[in-house]
Chain A
Amino acid sequence: MQMADASYTLPDEKGHFGPYGGIFVAETLIPALEELRLAYEACRVDPAFQAEFEYELKHYVGRPSPVYHAARWSRELGGAQIYLKREDLNHTGAHKVNNCIGQAMLARRMGKPRVIAETGAGQHGVATATVAARYGMECVVYMGSEDVRRQAANVYRMKLLGAEVVPVESGSKTLKDALNEAMRDWVTHIADTFYIIGTVAGPHPYPQMVRDFQCVIGRECIEQVPELTGRQPDYVIACVGGGSNAMGIFHPYIPYPDVRLIGVEAAGDGLDTGRHAASLSAGKPGVLHGNRTYLLQNEDGQIIETHSISAGLDYPGVGPEHAWLKDSGRAEYVGVTDDEALQAFHDLCRLEGIIPALESSHALAHAARLAPTLPSDRIILVNLSGRGDKDMHTVAERSGIQF
């Protein structure tokens, strides 16, 4: 059995992961972030908070989510054995809710009755609206007006759950602009408002806090995979947009040097076409949304518009810890195109009876690429971060089908 190396303790006290992360915000937000950091650090070591979090994850989310051996798909691919961490079976259909529960509990402790969130495809917005309804909090979700148009069903879901959805008309009218607008709301309503960021990005302590709330994914896997296979996996693969599902499954495996961690970015039409969302593979370091990280930007340092078939990966930045894991070599990052992701989507539907989210299909596609190159006793663990019901419309449209 491989030994765990416990020397990884990032971020440092200022929220840095090597040169990445940090707190890059206007002065007006600094005290709010300080208040949040202190509250989070207290909850992090408070057994009562942790016990309540575990209770909620078990009874409201339905954790632990199972690990499932995709035996038929593995046989078809003819190589390594693929196992799926079934985050798609969570309440609300994705990993997002783990983090929303943690942050909403924190908001309650801090006495903030109003929560706000940004959303792209609407998954984080739905998870936030769900949790806000559960705890009786006022909820406002910012969403690019372009995304509001493309994701009408999720907009309606949020409204059913009692949230107000505010369409954002500035900039490219997508996720990054929704994030800008949520930050503006927060700075204007600091006293009574908690900003629930949906991914491992933003100013410290968000990247650490969101990672910690999502680490339940990897911690469960470390127990579950040996129960099924007698050992830890050889590869752990997860899709990376902002990177919260990937950090959640990667982080507990960082101390296991024999487990290779592979993040899969959206290569859209192809990394050489300029139409993609692969910040780590094709971007360069810069400062956006409160942290230093890899960004897709032009030579003047303006943030450029991204493309992916999967709205959840369609973001020009990435969590700063991924930037550090890339530079340090602890994780590697690859790209998967729209077409490759769709192929994996259809294969999983037909061979395993599981409809995966298009985001997760990127991770599946890389597993499908890797498995045939490996012997059949190797183990690949893929984070199936969400279910694909929300993507019916996109996939049908791509196949020329109208409902």
Chain B
Amino acid sequence: MSKIQARFARLQSERRKALIPFITAGDPSPAATLPLMRALVDGGADIIELGVPFSDPMADGPTIQRASERALAAGMSLRRVLGIVSEFRQQDADTPIVLMGYANPIEAMGIERFVDDAAAAGVDGVLVVDYPPQESEAFAARLKAAAIDPIFLLAPTSTEQRMRDVGRFGSGYIYYVSLTGVTGAGHLDHGQVAARIPAIREAVGMPVGVGFGIRDAASAKRIGEIADAVVIGSRIIEEIERAGEADAPVRVRALIGDIREALDSLPQGTA
């Protein structure tokens, strides 16, 4: 059982929801990332999604684009992201880490080398935004062989066939993109999301995390009522932008703490 699967199993036995925050590695500087990761854990994160910055983040809205640009300007690279994960692992052996990014930096490093180095650094899951299942069967198999979970996206427009493909190639959890749009967009249709989740969970046979459009404790709680995990990204990046590097860990910890509290206040046994 992978670290991610173990975490979900434990949360399920405690009837709690997983909280999965996202930050971009190297934003606003490479030195800022470790303290921010610790703040996320202290605030109550179950899994950390660590964004690998890319020059052309096609699926991201303005907030995560800015984070990517800041990180690249500060010299961040995939190699350095793996270095940060190694360092984090020396202090925290338990919190699962999922790398989230785009295909090209991984291909430039070489898929074999990336999988080996990611496993050695202590990465637990990898989500490549522009690797849909039909283009990444071999990559997913290689990740699984290295005990890393390949995480896939599903969207409101995904067909039953897509769900089954994702269920076959993926493991760990499914990231359900609750809007057709880019990251950071608003207008989450709660009823529509709620209606879709049971079918998705059924088709993929693993926990379903919901992201896109989650802004605060209240919206997180509403998602927690229906999903297994709540993914929150752009809102944290905005907090980091507003706080500045020095104050960011404290403010991010408080933000995550509020959301954690809201999720834990859900009546046990929902969904």
Contacts and interface: CB of A to CB of B under 8 A. Distances in A.
Interface of A: 14, 22-28, 30-32, 170-171, 176-177, 180, 183-184, 187-188, 190, 284-290, 295, 297, 299-304
Contacts of B102: 287
A190 B185 CA distance: 15
30 contacts: A14-B134, A24-B103, A24-B132, A26-B132, A27-B177, A30-B158, A31-B158, A32-B157, A170-B65, A177-B56, A180-B56, A180-B57, A187-B180, A187-B182, A188-B181, A190-B180, A284-B108, A285-B107, A286-B103, A286-B108, A287-B103, A287-B107, A288-B56, A289-B56, A300-B108, A301-B105, A301-B108, A301-B109, A302-B54, A303-B104
Interface of B: 54-59, 61-62, 65, 69, 72, 77-79, 102-109, 129-132, 134-135, 152-155, 157-159, 162, 177, 180-182, 185
Contacts of B62: 170
B46 to A, nearest CB: 23
Given A297-B104, A300-B79, A301-B107, A23 B55 contact: no
Contacts of A30: 132, 155, 157-158, 162
A183 B181 CA distance: 10
Q: Is the interface of A mostly helix, strand, loop or mixed?
A: mixed
Contacts of B54: 301-302
Contact of B132 (A27, A176, A190): A27
Contacts of B104: 286-288, 295, 297, 301-303
Given A28-B157, A31-B157, A301-B104, 8 more contacts: A28-B177, A28-B181, A30-B155, A30-B162, A295-B104, A300-B78, A301-B109, A302-B54
Nearest to A301: B108
Nearest to A305: B55
Given A170-B69, A184-B182, A25 B108 contact: no
Contact of A26 (B59, B65, B72, B162): B59
Contact of A31 (B58, B65, B159, B177): B159
Contacts, number: 120
A288 B154 CA distance: 21
Contacts of B181: 28, 184, 187-188
A388 to B, nearest CB: 30
Q: Which of A188, A286, A300 has most chain B Cβ within 10 Å?
A: A300
Contacts of A187: 59, 180-182
B180 A23 contact: no
Contacts of B132: 23-27, 30
A284 to B, nearest CB: 8
Nearest to A24: B130
Contacts of B185: 188
